[in-house]
Amino acid sequence: MQRFINNPDEVVEDTVKGFVKAHADLVRLASNPRVIAARHAPVDGKVGVITGGGSGHEPAFIGYTGRNMLDAVAVGELFSSPTAKSFLDAAREANGGKGVVCLYGNYAGDNMNVKMAIKLAAKEDITIATVVANDDVCSAGPDEREKRRGVAGEIFMWKCAGALAAEGASLEAVQAVAQRAIDNCRSIGVGLGPCTLPAVGHPNFLIEPGTMEVGIGHHGEPGVRVEPLKPAAEIARDMAKIVLDDHDLAAGTEVAVLVSGLGATPANELYILNDTIEQEITGRGLTIHKTYIGNYFTSLEMVGATLTVMALDAELKRLLDVDVDCPARL
């Protein structure tokens, strides 16, 4: 493993320490060392906005803590759900007396621990409303959307909800806009190379050189097919087609586009993908309002990329355009 790590069992510990040091102007470590809170949180009378998830996806989830974004984040071990206690503590850090929305991805461990945190929080009169992200098209069919995983579309969900909460909206309104934001997102991932959990020491799945996995999840969950590696333009066309066929948007719809590297794919290759992605999207009569390119939601040192397309309405567009101040690029 050609990696910058210390004790493989302390990767999350060391990551969080270095993160808080780098961004102490924006974030702080809570008394629970697996919870990152925004410096400003909690804000009295504001709905708290939290999430949580496994580590190894940096800058997700912790990098989206900040002004007009997330108030607190529960931090799990690598590719593992945070504990119920960490979700609870994130809610406590974010609670300004108006309730908390927990906007997280659809994974078994997260579902279980968030449910438990809701019960524990209720005993302290903290209401936690939830939205479960399920934007990953290839993880289940269109008639089973509730089974789909949450991936990079979560960032758009957090951004819209974070902005609305900062305006003083009610818990119901923030939950509703987050639900609409993620309902309007479709994502797909393509993997060209696996990643290795440092404590395991070998890849947790395989991608043979010369092949690629279409529809892969953020932890190597298999997608719809393995096929020979193709030129970027063909890959990008396939990614756009899978996302847009599932989305079925009317011509003239405005969209936001996010192309994220999975950790070991450099920016220039994401731009190469975007050249074709833009063609495919505009070729369907859609209008691109804004494009985000970079490492937004990664999987350790996996080689690959994801595409997320969010359909915008007037409110989502306005909220997406609100300036944020958080460690990750937005």
> Residues for the chain: how many in total?
330
Among 298, 307, 312, 319, binds a second copy (CB under 8 A): 298
C-beta of 127 vs 291, nearer to a second copy: 291
Compose the 28-57 pattern: x for residues touching a second copy by CB under 8 A, - for all others: ---------------------------xx-
Q: What are all long-range contacts of 94-97, with beta carbons under 8 Å and residues at least 24 apart?
A: 94/37, 94/41, 94/42, 94/48, 94/49, 94/50, 95/42, 95/48, 95/126, 96/41, 96/42, 96/43, 96/44, 96/45, 96/46, 96/47, 96/48, 97/44, 97/45
We find the least distance from the C-beta atom of residue 318 to a second copy, in angstroms, to be 16
We find the least distance from the C-beta atom of residue 136 to a second copy, in angstroms, to be 19
Identify which of 188, 275, 261, 277 has the alpha carbon closest to the alpha carbon of residue 225.
Answer: 188
Tokens describing residue 263: 């950790």
202 carries an active-site annotation: no
Compose the 59-98 pattern: x for residues touching a second copy by CB under 8 A, - for all others: x---x-----------------------------------
The letter for the amino acid at 38 is A
What strand order describes the sheet that includes 303-312?
225-228, 211-214, 185-193, 303-312, 254-261, 287-294
b/e map 117-142, b = 16+ CB within 10 Å: bbebbeeeebebbbbbbbbbbbbeee
- Which of the following is catalytic: 23, 218, 219, 247? 219
Identify which of 132, 141, 98 has the alpha carbon closest to the alpha carbon of residue 114.
Answer: 132
We find the least distance from the C-beta atom of residue 53 to a second copy, in angstroms, to be 13
247 carries an active-site annotation: no
We find the least distance from the C-beta atom of residue 267 to a second copy, in angstroms, to be 4
We find the least distance from the C-beta atom of residue 55 to a second copy, in angstroms, to be 7
Number of residues that bind a second copy (CB under 8 A): 63
**Residue 189 interacts with a second copy (CB under 8 A): yes or no:** no
Is 299 in a helix, a strand, or coil? Answer: strand
We find the least distance from the C-beta atom of residue 232 to a second copy, in angstroms, to be 4
C-beta of 228 vs 252, nearer to a second copy: 228
Among 21, 44, 125, 143, binds a second copy (CB under 8 A): 21
**Residue 100 interacts with a second copy (CB under 8 A): yes or no:** no
Q: How far apart are CA 58 and CA 176, in angstroms?
A: 27
Residues 250-269 that bind a second copy (CB under 8 A): 259, 263-269
Stretch that binds a second copy, among 10-18, 93-101, 148-156, 169-177 (CB under 8 A): 10-18
Residues 54, 80 contacting (CB under 8 angstroms): yes
Compose the 108-147 pattern: x for residues touching a second copy by CB under 8 A, - for all others: ----------------------------------------
Identify which of 316, 251, 257 has the alpha carbon closest to the alpha carbon of residue 285.
Answer: 251
H runs (alpha helix) in 248-313: 267-283
Stretch that binds a second copy, among 152-160, 162-170, 232-240, 307-315 (CB under 8 A): 232-240
C-beta of 92 vs 297, nearer to a second copy: 297
**Residue 301 interacts with a second copy (CB under 8 A): yes or no:** yes
C-alpha distance from residue 330 to each of 146, 185, 215, 249, 298 (Å): 28, 17, 25, 25, 15
Gyration radius (Cα) of the chain, Å:
19
Active site residues: 57, 219
Question: Which residues form the interface with a second copy (CB under 8 A)?
Answer: 2-7, 11, 14-19, 21-23, 25, 55-56, 58-59, 63, 192-193, 207, 209, 212, 229, 231-233, 235-236, 259, 263-276, 278, 290-295, 298, 300-301, 303, 305, 327-329
